[in-house]
Structure formats: structure tokens, C-alpha cells
Amino acid sequence: MLFFVFFIFVFLLKGQQEFSLNQAIDIALENNYKYRISQLNVDYSSKNILQGYLNFAPTVTIDHSQVEISDYALQQQLAQQEGFKQLLRALDLGEFADQIPNTAFRKVYRSSMTVNWNLFAKGLALRELNERKLRHTILEIEADQAKLNTVFSVREAFYNLFIAEELMEIAKLRLKNTDQRVKQVQQFVNNGLRNNAELLRWQLQYSQAEEELIRAENGLSNTQKQFVFVLGMQMTEKAKTKRPEMSENLFADITEEMIKNLSVDDLNDMKKSILENQIAIDNKFYTYGKFLPSVNVKYVKNWQQSNRA
């Protein structure tokens, strides 16, 4: 019987992976897709707020074009100009012909810059900025709640696994002590110092200790599976908690505020409802703002440069 107990003990120790509480929390947060998505939403919302501020800035548009005349078209332009000058000279207007500039261009560069500044767009930019800030706060609340739920789930699973391991140790110790007691009573019976009834009683307790060990083993297996599930991992090894120091409190860093926020599930929903209501109020006021005029400033500058042939 005792060999069977040691076989179970060696089997359980083989292929185990230890986790500290902080390691378990870090792994769970890394593998929890709800928490990771909430973090990505918060990051994206932060960029949206920056975009909301940029909506107040003017927009600048710069255009540039370059036109190059082909050799054939250039020769045609030069020929036309020279023909016109020859006509003037034939009419005895040579002095005017000499004053005509060369208007044939090899390249033409055209550029323009437009600055458009919407000073007041019926309050649209301000409303969008406020809404983005409020929705960012809502996403932060959801991210904090997702993190808090994950952390407490890991703590609960870690604590349950820790207790299951302790119960397993107790069950093994009880079976070992009971086995020693059975052997001791057996010697007493062989020497006539005890009767068979007492031996049967201890043998019954040994059977009960075996059942208790099996229950502890099943409980440990279930808590290990639950612990791995909470961590979001796929493991072929058995999970095991790193033995904390006797003075270490597994829940020492849990504050009263954290417990209150977790225990009152409707608290964050109420906060989000208040923010959603504020967004609706802002949208209502914006409907009145549509009757206000828009103020827009626009500045345009064009310039051109040419290379004469």
C-alpha cells in the first residue's frame, strides 16, 4: 500500500511547472484577449483625442506643376513669332518688331498654396472633441474593469490551487502515518498485546485515508485545470504554485477600494451610463448650434516661373 502512495507522489511531482502569483497574473493579462482588446481601444481612443485637437488647426494645401514644351512645339512658336516680325518689317514697322519679346517658353513652373482655417464650424469640432474625451473615459473604465476581473480570477485560482496542494500534502501525511500505525498495531497483535478488533479499526482508517488521498488528488487535478484555464495557457505539464514564505500574505496588496469596485458590478455600468448621458446632452445642444453661422478664413497664393527658349 505504501508503495502505491509513493508512486502517486512521484507521478504528481513529475512534469510540474511552478508559478508565482505575480507570474500567473502577468501571463493571464498577456493571454486575456478581452483585456488586450480593451487596451488597444484605449490607445486608439487616445489618438482620436489628438485628432480632435488637430481639427482646430488650419489646413494647408500646396500644389506644384511643371510643363515642358516639346522641340516641335517650340520651333512652331518661334517660327510664328519670327513670321509676325517679318510681316511688321515688310510694313515698314521694323522698330516695333524689334521691341516684341520672345514669348516662347521651354518650361513653365506653376505653384499654389491654399490655407483654409475653419474658425467656427457651428461648434462641431468642440462637440467631437468632448465626445472623444468622454468615450475615452468609458474605454478606460472598461479596461480597468477587465484587468481587475482578470487579476482577481487569477488570485482566486492561485489560492484554490495552493489550498488543494496543502490538502494533498495533508492526505499523504495522514496515509503515511496511518500505514505506520497499522504496521505497529499488527506487531502488537502478533505479540498478543492488541486484539484483532483494534487492527481492523486501523485498517478501516487506512482505507479512509486512501479515499481521502484519491479525493485530494482529484481536487488538485481539477484546480490545476482551472488555474491553467484562467491563465489562458495550453500545458502538458501540471501547474504548481511556488511555495510562498510563511510571512507572505497572498492578498496583502488588495486594497479596500479594489474590493469595493469588484464587488459592486453595477458601479462601472452606472459611471458609463452617466458619461453616455452627457454625450447625448452635448449632441442635443449641437442641434441648436446648427442654426449658428460658420466662420471660415481662406488664403490663396499662386506663382509661376518660366524658362524662355
Q: Which amino acid does the sequence have at 112?
A: S
Residue 1's pLDDT is 45
Hey, which of 3-7, 145-149, 248-252, 276-280 has the most confident mean pLDDT?
145-149
pLDDT digits (tens, 9 = 90+) for 139-148: 888 888 888 8
pLDDT digits (tens, 9 = 90+) for 290-301: 667 777 788 888
Residue 13's pLDDT is 45
What mean pLDDT value characterizes the chain? 77
Residue 119's pLDDT is 73
The DSSP string of 196-247 is: HHHHHHHHHHHHHHHHHHHHHHHHHHHHHHHHHHHHT---SSEEEEPPPPTT
**What's the rounded mean pLDDT across residues 160-169?**
91
Distance CA 16, CA 129 (A): 53
| Prediction pTM value | 0.61
Q: For residue 280, what is its C-alpha cell?
A: 447625448
User: How many Å is the maximal CA-CA distance in the chain?
Assistant: 159
How does strand 16-19 pair with strand 238-241? Answer: parallel
**What's the rounded mean pLDDT across residues 156-178?**
92
pLDDT at residue 275 above 50?
yes
CA distances, 202 to each of 8, 77, 183, 186, 199 (Å): 22, 123, 9, 10, 5
**What's the rounded mean pLDDT across residues 7-16?**
48
Q: Using alpha carbons only, what angle is made at residue 86 by residues 81 and 92, rounded to the nearest 5 degrees?
A: 130
CA atoms in the 13 A half-sphere facing the CB of 236: 0
pLDDT digits (tens, 9 = 90+) for 28-53: 999 888 888 888 888 988 888 888 78
Q: Using alpha carbons only, what angle is made at residue 164 by residues 162 and 168, rounded to the nearest 5 degrees?
A: 115
pLDDT digits (tens, 9 = 90+) for 73-103: 666 666 666 666 666 666 666 666 666 655 5
CATH architecture of 2-59+122-300: Up-down Bundle (1.20)
